[in-house]
Structure 1
Amino acid sequence: MCDSTHASVPDAARTAPRPAPGTATDPIALAPVDEIRITVLMDNTYDALLVGDSRTGRAGFGPATVPAGQFVSGRTSVGLLAEHGFSALVTVRRAERDTTLLFDAGLSPDGMVDNARRLGVDLTALQGVVLSHGHFDHAGGLSGLAAELGSGRMPMVVHPAVWTPRRVMTPQNVFEMPTLSKTALDAEGFEVIERRHPSLLVDGSVLITGEVDRTTGFEHGMPVSHQAWRDEHWRHDPLVIDDQALVVHLRGQGLVVLTGCGHAGAVNIVRHARRLTGVATVHALLGGLHLSGPAFEPVIGPTVAALTALAPKLLAPGHCTGWRAQHTLAAALPAAWVPSSSGTTHHLVAA
């Protein structure tokens, strides 16, 4: 297995576009928005000393305090939680109307909700939830969200395969992932909307990609250890077919693409978003890019080559991107790359 994490001429050749198989409704009329705010409510890291700029705000210490008798005041400032999970609050403004969606919910039942409280985020103002896929580190916080929302019904867009039982099988052990229950989510107040194909939300200004076309020659998906229960057997599940992304067209700037884990492949996802919308420019790519670990590190080189060619103005990978990919992306795109952290808010405005 290749150890290189640097883009090369062969890497660049492998990122050359190739036609997507089958037919698609193309393009989709994605209405441009005037402003978008993406607040990372949960990520794998939290760094209170990160410095923000005009477009990226940091939480730092002090958003919340808790009792602590060892201090003169009897209280202490706390930061935010971090865990192996992802959740982001997405607010889009079109003309005078703001709409807020939750994209994924993190790993633990209370982690995302606790961070929202510490940041002063009112989750009852949500107008919808989107799940990027069914893995438990993106859906674990739904029970905490349900408790926060109370008795109201909350629409939630998912791919029909989010209910698929999955496991990771290695020579050392078998880890059966927690599987989402549609019945339980309905009982907790979620109005589940299953969509396999691309869908438009928020008066046509937010696109949920649905299943992503796999068009690159290097993004092969999950290793053989990742399995799904289908047809009464455990089978290799390389595609995680329920993987989908959220896309917004920022007026005069280009596409803003938000991924959960990017199981479909970061380059596949960006290409799919461009193909669906007919918008060529990618302004920002945020979220998990799933380039961590021995099975995915060989993909770093061609991924970086393709993203460098796209030249996004903001690149904020998080969650499962991995430290090797982060270092390589930071070196290749120093003006665009921004380290992710729980509590970070990206504020992007139209040109």
Structure 2
Amino acid sequence: MRLVVLNDNVPARGLINEWGWSILVDRVIFDADTNPLVLAHNARILGVSLKNIKFAFLSHWHYDHYGGMPYIAELNPGIKLYAPIEGMAMAMRWGFEPVPVRDGGKIEDKFYTSGVLEGIEHAMGVETSSGLVIIVGCSHPGVDRLVEEVLKVSGNEKAYLVIGGFHSPPIWRLNRLAELSELIAPAHCSGDVAKDYIKKKFPDKFVEVRTGTIIDV
């Protein structure tokens, strides 16, 4: 499985970026930044296609995560969008087949949702040969809580990799996350304090992420 970071807050040479988060997981897109121009440009430079997407997954209805979704629907009319229920009408207008998410569980072969926590956000788990990869958006309910829920519904005791925005978490959440995952890749809204803490406290677990990062699992 290949993870391709289409947009992160941290820039990279030859790519464009802005405040937002979007990652391509083989033929599945998780979140879609704010700007379709960013997605289109970076996908071209990185040599990946945004057509023939299997399905889309939206962590939560904040613009820096859903802004590019109409573009994804335009390229892939009729594909499923797994998202919290509040934006289902808008997703339908864009051209998706919206699938409202409430509870955790399997959504597709090898793919899981944590279920929507606090009525706000859910995370995605993917089974790989290395172990479970968990992708988060902004972790408003707490990155450790989202990870725990994905582990529970997938039947795993520990994740191989957790990647995404951690929302400037307190140190105790990062310590708990280190117990739950072999590798940790803070991105987007995680903040420099969280990144520096993980890098120094858990150097063997830290994975650096920026726009254009490619991770093969």
What is the TM-score with the length of structure 1 in the denominator? Answer: 0.58
Q: Which amino acid aligns with 1:280?
A: E
Cα RMSD (Å) of the superposition? 1.8
Give 1:191's aligned residue: 97
- Of 99, 113, 125, 1:208 maps to 113
Q: Which amino acid aligns with 1:255?
A: L
1:288-342 residue CA offsets vs partner (Å, 9 max, x unmatched):
0111xxxx5xx1x2022212333x3321110000011110011111112122111
Query: Offset of 1:115 from its aligned partner?
Result: 1.2
Return the alpha-carbon distance in structure 2 between the equivalents of residues 187 and 260 of structure 1: 23
Return the alpha-carbon distance in structure 2 between the equivalents of residues 275 and 147 of structure 1: 35
Q: Which amino acid aligns with 2:18?
A: E
Q: Which runs of 5+ in 1 are unaligned?
A: 1-35, 49-78, 92-99, 164-180, 213-238
Matched, 1:153 2:78: yes
Matched, 1:334 2:211: no
Query: Offset of 1:242 from its aligned partner?
Result: 2.8
Q: Which amino acid aligns with 1:278?
A: G
Query: Offset of 1:249 from its aligned partner?
Result: 2.7
- Of 192, 212, 215, 1:323 maps to 192
Q: Which amino acid aligns with 2:57?
A: V
Map residues 201-350 of structure 1 onto 2, 5 A cutoff: 201-203=107-109, 205-212=110-117, 239=118, 241-251=119-129, 253-291=130-168, 296=169, 299=170, 301-310=171-180, 312-348=181-217
Return the alpha-carbon distance in structure 1 between the equivalents of residues 51 and 202 of structure 2: 37
Secondary structure of the structure 2 residue equivalent to 1:287: strand
Q: Which runs of 5+ in 2 are unaligned?
A: none
Query: Offset of 1:268 from its aligned partner?
Result: 0.7
Q: Identity over the aligned pairs, expressed in percent?
A: 30
Q: Which amino acid aligns with 2:161?
A: A
Give 2:15's aligned residue: 80
Give 1:232's aligned residue: none
Q: Which amino acid aligns with 1:288?
A: G
Return the alpha-carbon distance in structure 2 between the equivalents of residues 247 and 326 of structure 1: 22
Secondary structure of the structure 1 residue equivalent to 2:204: coil
What is the TM-score with the length of structure 2 in the denominator? Answer: 0.92
Q: Note if contact 1:124-1:148 (Cα within 8 Å) is conserved in structure 2.
A: yes
Return the alpha-carbon distance in structure 2 between the equivalents of residues 194 and 281 of structure 1: 27
Return the alpha-carbon distance in structure 2 between the equivalents of residues 266 and 320 of structure 1: 12
Return the alpha-carbon distance in structure 2 between the equivalents of residues 278 and 147 of structure 1: 35
Give 1:46's aligned residue: 11
Give 1:119's aligned residue: 46
Give 1:51's aligned residue: none
Return the alpha-carbon distance in structure 1 between the equivalents of residues 105 and 178 of structure 2: 28
Query: Offset of 1:108 from its aligned partner?
Result: 1.8
Return the alpha-carbon distance in structure 2 between the equivalents of residues 160 and 306 of structure 1: 29
Matched, 1:131 2:38: no
The 1:133/1:272 distance shift into structure 2, 3 A limit, reads: same
Query: Offset of 1:197 from its aligned partner?
Result: 1.2
Higher helix share: 2
The 1:80/1:145 distance shift into structure 2, 3 A limit, reads: same
1:143-170 residue CA offsets vs partner (Å, 9 max, x unmatched):
2323434xx3221111113x3xxxxxxx
**Relative contact order higher in (CA < 8 Å, ≥ 6 apart):** 1
Return the alpha-carbon distance in structure 2 between the equivalents of residues 256 and 198 of structure 1: 16
Return the alpha-carbon distance in structure 1 between the equivalents of residues 131 and 49 of structure 2: 29
Matched, 1:182 2:92: no
Q: Note if contact 1:113-1:141 (Cα within 8 Å) is conserved in structure 2.
A: no
Return the alpha-carbon distance in structure 2 between the equivalents of residues 261 and 267 of structure 1: 12
The 1:186/1:256 distance shift into structure 2, 3 A limit, reads: same
Q: Which amino acid aligns with 1:244?
A: H
Secondary structure of the structure 2 residue equivalent to 1:313: strand
Query: Offset of 1:278 from its aligned partner?
Result: 2.5
1:170-199 residue CA offsets vs partner (Å, 9 max, x unmatched):
xxxxxxxxxxx724x323321111121124
